[in-house]
Amino acid sequence: MSEAFRLYLIIIASCLVGAAVVLGIASRMLGRNVEKVWSTYRSWLVMIPLAMFGIYLGRVGTIVFVTSLMFVACYEFARATKLTSDKWMLGAVMILIAATGLTALIHDPLYNTAGSLPLFLAMPMYAIALVLVVPVIRNRVEGQLRTISLAIVAYVLLGWMLGHLGHLANSNSSEGYLLFLLFAVELNDVAAFTFGKLFGRHPLRSKISPKKTWEGALGGFCISMILPWLVRFSFPDGFGTTQLLLAGVIVGIGGPMGDLAISVIKRDLDVKDMGTAIPGHGGVLDRVDSLLFTSPFFFHMLNYFDLL
């Protein structure tokens, strides 16, 4: 277990205990309804240990864990959008997700397979080609535009974008990067909710997520901008002021945007949650939505500055 992992373990455990104390005080003294926060808190008690265990297992364990999340989240999306009615198209998407996980698994410069990263970055092109070929092979026409569109969105959003986490596991500083993202998006979420409950007056996007407020979003953004400086120990040399600022912006904006993007889909489908896999907080997709935008933007920021 690395020093960064031990420090994050202490920080996250302290935050979970602190959050429980704050929620208990808030429910008694402020007289505010915090039941939804408690349910979210309970979901963290399930997801965070699982995610940290995957990271603790190392590169292969992390990639397998991330790929498993991709499969489950994609199936939840397919079930909610009725993509499951087309087994061929759903099968094509699942094959693409498996291939995406494989590109991360075989990426190893020691064995001259580092070229799998360009292959991963080109996966959306292969995905579009494959899902367009499926109805041709089956000689199908009716309803195929909708099915093709759903399949492309399912793969790009939940296979390719989320798949950047798997390739992040191949970084020399993977442990610190992954723990930062995990901790940062959850902290942004709870900060936005807390500030929104305490000070929220102006709806952020009333038609999409009526309970989210500008005050909550600003509070979450401020916390996200501060956090990278507090956990600089988890970043390698060369991770300077510019990178710290960008990391804060990516989490502070990308996290809520991922949440809102999935909320748009849920509102259109008229469903509260995408699944029921996690007690008290819907499905896997409902928990990883904040990582959908933060993961690829954080990955490409690191790649641009040669920090992978």
Ordered DSSP codes for 65-126: HHHHHHHHHHHHHHHHHTGGG-HHHHHHHHHHHHHHHHHHHT--GGGT-TTHHHHHHTHHHH
Q: What is the mean pLDDT of residues 91-120?
A: 82
Say what angle helices 174-199 and 35-56 make with each other, to 10 degrees: 180
Q: What is the mean pLDDT of residues 102-120?
A: 74
Q: Are 13 and 49 in contact (CB under 8 A)?
A: no
Return the pLDDT at 234: 83
* pLDDT beyond 90 at 167: yes
Q: Are 130 and 89 in contact (CB under 8 A)?
A: no
Cβ density class 150-171: b for 16+ within 10 Å, e for less: bbbebbbbbbbbbbbbbbbbbb
Mean pLDDT of the chain: 86
Q: Looking at the whole model, is its pTM more than 0.85?
A: yes
The pair of three-digit structure tokens given for residue 73, joined into one six-digit string: 């989240």
Which range is least confidently modeled, 55-69, 109-123, 165-179, 277-291?
109-123
What is the pLDDT confidence band of residue 17, given thresholds at 50, 70 and 90? confident
* pLDDT beyond 60 at 85: yes
What is the pLDDT confidence band of residue 26, given thresholds at 50, 70 and 90? low
* pLDDT beyond 70 at 38: no
Which range is least confidently modeled, 9-23, 153-167, 171-185, 293-307?
9-23
Q: What is the mean pLDDT of residues 245-250?
A: 96
The pair of three-digit structure tokens given for residue 217, joined into one six-digit string: 């979003």
- Who's near 265: CB < 8 A, 6+ residues apart? 77, 80, 81
What is the spatial distance between Cα 293 and Cα 257, in angstroms, rounded to a whole number? 7
